Amino acid sequence: MLKLGLIGCGNVVERSHLQSYRDLKELVKVEAVSDLDENKAKKVCAEFGAEYFNNYKEMLNKNLDCVIVSVPIHLTQNIVSNVLKAGKAAITEKPGASNYEEALELVSLSRQNKVPFTFVQNYLYGTKQMQAIEASKNIGEIFLTRLENVCHGYGALEKNFDMGWRLNKSNRGCLLNHGFHEIYLMLHLNPSPVESIYAVRRNFCYNSTEEDLAIVVAKHKNNGITQITNGFLHNIKETVSVEEIHGTKGSIDIKNPPEILKLEKEYSHTRFFREKFLELQKGSFKDNLAEFLTIHKILDAAYDSMNQQNEVFL
């Protein structure tokens, strides 16, 4: 059984990760938890019988097989670096780094020290997304992908709601924070390499210097186009999305894809974590670090395009 350490017990951990650890109790045991919010951390410790650490660096002295890092973006790179230097396998919540330079540093550290490292890609493990990715192989050359996802900003329904770290200069805005999902999904729906990016950003709903609405147009090597729209808008009560793929031989509505794969009903995070925990257990860990770098290269290009107000070539 893998011994797990958690750094960060915030929103995504409470909503998603903890249920996965409950579902996978035959594979892993949460042994240690660290968070600056002592009440949150000790609540997790009480449920899983784990030890609380106020200082995560002290936690890294414990015998752990893997550490899950779920902290604000601007803190991630430094913490994951310390986890890898301690010789612990690391899985970080998206986006895992603030930019390409930070991402490259983590990849280099993982490879040099031969310590497993990856990032959460739960969108690839959702039932509908898995069916759509499989079905996309049968619709010819992909020429248009639309991934439009506008949500209410993690429950922020009031105009004066403080989005905190999600919308500030240290963490950029909604594209890095949430559009990261659509970018890695794009790479699997149209695997033709992205050659250029054009992006615009706006701030409509929150008192922030960073974008709460971003639109990205990616041009692929096969001349296909992907349009990504991502936003945090306080007047939207439920997530509004358009997700579709169009190829020379057909189209797919990702929210209602053909059922090609035989899949058990399961939560996307649980599917992801089960795969990674089993790989660690068997000593056959498959990282996705080349993709990690590609995503951050695309994100940096998008922010450059926003600033320069022109197309940026990768």
CATH of the domain at 108: 3.40.50.720
Residue 209 has a pLDDT of: 80
> Does residue 132 sit in the same domain as residue 110?
no
> Does residue 140 sit in the same domain as residue 28?
no
DSSP at 172: B
Side-chain-side CA neighbours of residue 103 (13 Å)? 24
> Does residue 128 sit in the same domain as residue 79?
no
> Does residue 173 sit in the same domain as residue 112?
no
Q: Which two tokens stand for residue 52?
A: 């609380």
> Does residue 176 sit in the same domain as residue 272?
no
Does 116 sit behind a cis peptide bond, omega within 30 degrees of 0 on the bond before it? no
Which strands form 2-7's sheet, in the order they lie side by side? Answer: 51-53, 28-34, 2-7, 66-69, 89-92, 117-119
Per-residue pLDDT of the chain (314 residues; tens, 9 = 90+): 999 999 999 889 998 999 999 999 999 999 999 999 999 999 999 999 999 999 999 999 999 999 999 999 999 999 999 999 999 999 999 999 999 999 999 999 999 999 999 999 999 999 999 999 999 999 999 999 999 988 765 554 444 445 566 666 778 889 999 899 999 999 999 999 999 999 999 988 777 788 989 999 999 999 999 999 998 876 666 778 899 999 999 999 999 999 999 999 999 999 999 999 999 999 999 989 999 999 999 999 999 999 999 999 99
> Does residue 168 sit in the same domain as residue 258?
yes
> Does residue 102 sit in the same domain as residue 159?
no
Q: How far is CA 215 from CA 76, 153, 183, 200, 274, in A?
A: 25, 16, 12, 5, 33
> Does residue 218 sit in the same domain as residue 248?
yes
Domain that includes residue 91, residue range: 2-120+267-285
Residue 205 has a pLDDT of: 75
Q: How far apart are CA 154 and CA 166, in angstroms?
A: 10
Q: How far apart are CA 194 and CA 209, in angstroms?
A: 28
Q: How many structural domains are present in the chain? A: 2
Interacting residues of 149 by C-beta distance below 8 A, sequence separation 6+: 178, 179, 181, 182, 229, 230, 231, 239, 240, 241, 243
291 within domain boundaries: no
Q: How far apart are CA 131 and CA 152, in angstroms?
A: 27
> Does residue 172 sit in the same domain as residue 304?
yes
Residue 170 has a pLDDT of: 72
> Does residue 274 sit in the same domain as residue 135?
no
CATH of the domain at 223: 3.30.360.10
Residue 157 has a pLDDT of: 46
Which strands form 250-253's sheet, in the order they lie side by side? Answer: 250-253, 240-247, 142-151, 225-232, 213-220, 194-202, 312-313
What is the β-pairing status of strands 142-151 and 240-247?
antiparallel
Q: How far apart are CA 228 and CA 249, in angstroms?
A: 22
290 within domain boundaries: no
Side-chain-side CA neighbours of residue 273 (13 Å)? 27
Decide: 229 and 214 in contact? Cβ < 8 Å.
yes
> Does residue 132 sit in the same domain as residue 80?
no
Q: Which two tokens stand for residue 51?
A: 């030890």
Q: Which amino acid is at 20?
A: S
> Does residue 157 sit in the same domain as residue 257?
yes
Residue 125 has a pLDDT of: 97
Decide: 128 and 185 in contact? Cβ < 8 Å.
no
